[in-house]
Structure 1
Amino acid sequence: MSGPDYSFETELRDRGVMRIAGVDEVGRGPLAGPVTAAAVVLDPARIPEGLNDSKKLSEKKRVALLAELEACAEISVAHASVEEIDELNILRASHLAMERAVAGLSVPPDHCLIDGNMIPRGLTIPATTVVKGDARSVSISAASIAAKIARDTIMRDLEQQFPGYGWAQNAGYPSKSHISALQALGVTPHHRKSFKPVHNILCKA
């Protein structure tokens, strides 16, 4: 399986659609922290080498690629808060983050390539879903990298305020050490109360 390419974008450009944004989110699975999305419009003449699904890249490689992207692409990052996740549900909140990321671009795109199989219902711009898009479309790969770095940074910052949960390492995902810290230290304001492991601890409290 080769890495992502520009074929989805080329097909759209052949139909006269020029300004294409790749959109991806990160942080659906964690027990803590926001869900983060990014929208990226690449310059077809300057696509950084080595773009791929952010999970397949080392942190060092992600950071290097983001620096390249910042020099030649347009990037918008947005979030949905823990409160919004608990109020809406994680799917709707991740779509809200995507809608906000697209809205944050300086000029609206003509078309969005959305990672996954659902178009956010609040998106007013034509869009195509691409299942496993972060491994198939370079625009979505770029968005996955920008979103992951932004969210990891937030979780590292939150660890400074709430040490002991290992958020710098686990990014809020339900690792063994995170679950045991949750049981030992309790629930923070940054935990998603609608998520079962957190909800169960609150019910026992």
Structure 2
Amino acid sequence: MGLIWVCGVDEAGRGPLAGAVVAGAVVLDPDHPIEGLKDSKTLSASRREFLFEQIQLKAKAWGIGEASAAEIDEINILQATMLAMRRAIEDLTTRLGAWPDKALIDGNRCPNLPIEAEAIVKGDTKEPAISAASILAKVTRDRQMMQLHERHPEYGFAKHMGYPTAAHFAALQQFGVCQEHRRSFSPVRKVLVLHSR
């Protein structure tokens, strides 16, 4: 029996009103441990950026997948999250040269996979590989939202990252909906109705 490769999987961006939902998948390398892996939400932005680089350097394999705002609108946020997770594992599989033996998924459901998968509630606080995946997903998504901010500074994406804050609601009321907004989400739908009158 060879080495058993277990990948941790997590997502970022289920709750925002704009942008993609992004997932990370990571197989850690016991010969190259990474210090300080924690749930990405508990880390500072600079610490996340540092660990992002460390994970890409030291992990046995890693992958990133996403589902766009348009895909979220088409299949719903839950299915889009599962799709992003599967894409992240497929990306990891390309780098690893084979499917991992098992996937540990943060949350209470697993995407449809050809390998064994286990859902772990609050897994990003319990499993270092899931913590690593959460960091990959969060940093990737934050970078995307910063790019979106450069294209649409009027919405303030650099501050709220697309989440439903008072400032974001105010910008939606004033400027309407941009291409990256999730039209299936109720606050965005309401603005579309208002602006179509």
TM bin, normalised by shorter chain, reads over 0.9
Write the deviation string for residues 49-106 of structure 1: whole angstroms up to 9, x where unpaired: 1100000000111111111111111221111011110010000000000000001112
TM-score, with length taken from structure 2: 0.93
Is residue 50 of structure 1 aligned with residue 36 of structure 2?
A: yes
Q: Describe how 1:31-180 pairs up with structure 2 within 5 A.
A: 31-73=17-59, 74-105=61-92, 106=95, 107-120=98-111, 122-180=112-170
Please give the secondary structure, in 1, of the residue aligned with 2:22.
strand
RMSD: 1.3
Which ranges in structure 1 are unaligned for 5 or more consecutive residues? 1-14
Equivalent position of 2:171 in the other structure:
181
Identical counterparts, % of pairs: 49
Equivalent position of 2:183 in the other structure:
193
Please give the secondary structure, in 2, of the residue aligned with 1:94.
helix
Deviating beyond 2 angstroms after TM superposition, the runs of 4 or more aligned structure 1 residues are none
In structure 2, C-alpha distance between the alignment counterparts of 1:194 and 1:114, rounded to whole Å: 25
Shift of 1:47: 2.0
In structure 1, C-alpha distance between the alignment counterparts of 2:162 and 2:21, rounded to whole Å: 11
In structure 2, C-alpha distance between the alignment counterparts of 1:166 and 1:126, rounded to whole Å: 41
Shift of 1:16: 7.3
Q: Report the residue type matching 1:187 in the other structure.
A: V
Please give the secondary structure, in 1, of the residue aligned with 2:103.
strand
In structure 1, C-alpha distance between the alignment counterparts of 2:4 and 2:73, rounded to whole Å: 37
Shift of 1:44: 1.4
- Summarize the Cα distance change of 1:161–1:32 in structure 2 as closer, same or farther, 3 Å threshold: same
Please give the secondary structure, in 1, of the residue aligned with 2:15.
coil
In structure 1, C-alpha distance between the alignment counterparts of 2:31 and 2:104, rounded to whole Å: 19
In structure 2, C-alpha distance between the alignment counterparts of 1:82 and 1:167, rounded to whole Å: 15
Please give the secondary structure, in 2, of the residue aligned with 1:151.
helix
Equivalent position of 1:6 in the other structure:
none
- Summarize the Cα distance change of 1:111–1:72 in structure 2 as closer, same or farther, 3 Å threshold: same
Q: Report the residue type matching 1:63 in the other structure.
A: E
Q: Report the residue type matching 2:107 in the other structure.
A: G
In structure 2, C-alpha distance between the alignment counterparts of 1:26 and 1:77, rounded to whole Å: 11
TM-score, with length taken from structure 1: 0.90
Q: Report the residue type matching 1:170 in the other structure.
A: H
